[in-house]
Structure 1
Amino acid sequence: MKQLLFLVGDYVEDYEVMVPFQALAMVGYDCVAVCPGKKVGDTVATAIHDFDGAQTYSEKRGHNFAINGDFDAVNVADFAGLVIPGGRAPEYLRLDERVLAIVREFAAAGKPIAGVCHAAQLLATAGVISGKRMQAYPACKPDVIAAGGVWDEPSAGLDSACVDGVLVTGPAWPAHPAWLREFVRTLGGELRP
């Protein structure tokens, strides 16, 4: 089974959805992006978060990202793993009970879950990180700790990854090479050094 589910919403971080979606497709995975309230052919707006010297990231409007799956028809049994990109989308997607149920089903089935940046907000609300070591954007550290997660301090360049069983996390889009490599390994794929 090589199908991966992406949970996205408006103002998902541009690089954190586009790059993993394309990279995982390139290595042979069938990537399916779904969003509550959207159908195949609809798009979500993305935001570009940049690290340009302010005390936090800045935000700019990104590309439109096409939805290619039906949220209402998601069957976790059809997927090998779950990808949750960051940005602002996880903040409000965590209010959707069906989204939370999907995340919990992946966790209960022991299927690989990859989360980057603010995906920690959704994982924390779903209650699937208690006792798990993970990384996220540093502003999400209180969410991780409050949900019983174990904070793994990201590298200064936010280019690190953390693996705890089948949970693969990274702090932001600079971590793509690290967390994508670890996620593919967790899915049972092989990558050349």
Structure 2
Amino acid sequence: MTLSDKKVLLLAADLFEDMELLYPLHRLIEEGVEVTVAGLDDHAVTGKKGHGPLPVDTTVDGLSATDFDGLVIPGGFAPDKLRRSEQVLTLVRDFDTAGKPIAFICHAG
């Protein structure tokens, strides 16, 4: 199976669990997936263990689940920030309604 024609949205905020963001990010890229890292704003994010700053590609504003094949939300303390965003909640609901894969890692679930 090839993944080179797939697009995945990865949500990021400060204090993400470093390996829960970095490992999926790099593995997806290695498989040829187009990964978009989206934050709550356009500021770079930093992991709990100090990795970063990691630039984001875009903000969650205006993104649509129809533009992606899957969603990844890493754990750490970042999900606590992400869940307070109406845009994030709408995106997650839209991915779910569309039956698209959602990877909630650790505290993101």
Contact kept in structure 2, 1:5 and 1:79, CA below 8 Å:
yes
Contact kept in structure 1, 2:12 and 2:78, CA below 8 Å:
yes
Please list the CA deviations of residues 79-101 of structure 1 after superposition, one character each: whole Å capped at 9, or x if unmatched.
Answer: 00000001100012111111101
Shift of 1:76: 1.0
Matched, 1:90 2:79: yes
Corresponding position of 1:113: 102
Shift of 1:71: 2.0
How is 1:4-19 mapped onto 2 (pairs within 5 angstroms)? 4-19=8-23
Cα distance in 2 between the residues matched to 1:35 and 1:70: 5
Query: 5+ unaligned residues in a row in structure 2: which ranges?
Result: none
Number of residues of Structure 1 aligned to a counterpart in Structure 2: 105
How is 1:1-193 mapped onto 2 (pairs within 5 angstroms)? 1-38=5-42, 42-48=43-49, 61-120=50-109
The normalised TM-score by structure 2 is 0.89
How much is the aligned-residue C-alpha RMSD, in angstroms? Answer: 1.2
Contact kept in structure 2, 1:47 and 1:63, CA below 8 Å:
no
Deviation >2 Å, runs of 4+: none
The normalised TM-score by structure 1 is 0.52
Q: Which has the higher contact order (CA 8 A, sep 6+)?
A: 2
Shift of 1:68: 1.4
Shift of 1:73: 2.9
Structure label with greater radius of gyration: 1
Shift of 1:70: 3.5
Cα distance in 1 between the residues matched to 2:55 and 2:47: 10
Contact kept in structure 1, 2:60 and 2:88, CA below 8 Å:
no
Secondary structure class of the residue paired with 1:86: coil
What is the percent sequence identity of the aligned residues? 38
